[in-house]
Structure 1
């Protein structure tokens, strides 16, 4: 997929950054249906080309953020060699540089969140509560809540099953499935339906 075909998924004025980052690399970008397990993925292919997959359901600024994350893998491996850790210091420094270089792309209310995130980039998007909240703004009108917004003892529905919050353990929550009586650990920003 050419960079220009990506335009419909991206915010305005970001193509110059992408052209610079793509350089002479052969990159195959696949736009996928929404995946719950990940927003994007990077792989170096056997023929030395690169493959990046990104969910089609992402808002333009999040799409650009995820694409930047995946391109940071490519550039870090190219600049530091194949033996580096996927989300090690080389990747973090590369991602940080790319985020700061392209900060003008983001909306004003998102810039401060990106700047804060860039100080210590996380491998997993869900590990950044501010980013997760920002990109779920439109979803707040539905019936779902973040688990961390519920009280201990509250009942909620997750994937059509009912749970009770038993306790908070460091950052996560121990919850009991009322049907199976099994206990599960939930992240604080899990989207759940509160039972009132």
Structure 2
């Protein structure tokens, strides 16, 4: 696990300097991070892949901040996730700790950061980012356009929305059958337990 420290807009770490962090980022992204981190005492941890989350933010007992981001992410997604987590830090510092983690204050902060750094993203992604910024979602998976952009379909794997009602599929080594579509989600039954679950339309599954 690599650890970076940002203080007063300067990256200071004798073992892992700024030019190493840039390997995780799109071109020209670092100046935005230095400006956003500003004078805050923040520990940035780059972790191994985590299926449950792409990144997170937390306020530490000593009043410093900690952000973690999966180091296996493609550079543009890495920067997007880091921007999301930094928006928590900036929103809490500006509006106070009583705001909702993904409330209007966070949305406004995240929106402004996305538009400010729009030039970092590739042309075909800029339109998706601009559309997303109108109403930022708390969960990356809640934005089908972003998911499809970063998670290309692999041979043997499909998005649930591309399967038919009644088809069977494998998800995390469990077999399911699609029962029906409910608004933007799919009600599926686990054939082992009999329990039913709602899947997002862009959930990647293995078709039987």
- TM norm. shorter chain > 0.5: yes
* Partner-residue secondary structure (3-state), 1:141: coil
TM alignment of 1:44-123, pairs within 5 A: 44-123=59-138
Partner of 2:162: 149
Over residues 81-111 of structure 1, what are the superposed CA-to-partner deviations in whole Å (9 max), with x where a residue is unaligned? Answer: 1111111111000000000000000000000
Shift of 1:176: 1.6
Please give the TM-score of this superposition, normalised by the length of structure 1. Answer: 0.95
- Map Cα deviations across residues 55-96 of structure 1 (whole Å, 9 max, x no partner): 111100000000000000000011111111111111000000
TM alignment of 1:1-196, pairs within 5 A: 1-2=4-5, 3=11, 4=18, 5-137=20-152, 140-195=153-208
Q: Which has the higher helix share?
A: 1
After superposition, what is the alpha-carbon deviation per residue over 1:111-160, rounded to whole angstroms, capped at 9, x for unaligned?
Answer: 000000000000100000000000012xx232110011111011111112
Cα offset, 1:162, TM superposition: 1.5
Gaps of 5+ in 2: 6-10, 12-17
Residue range with higher mean Cα deviation, 144-153 or 167-176: 167-176
The number of residue pairs the alignment matches comes to: 193
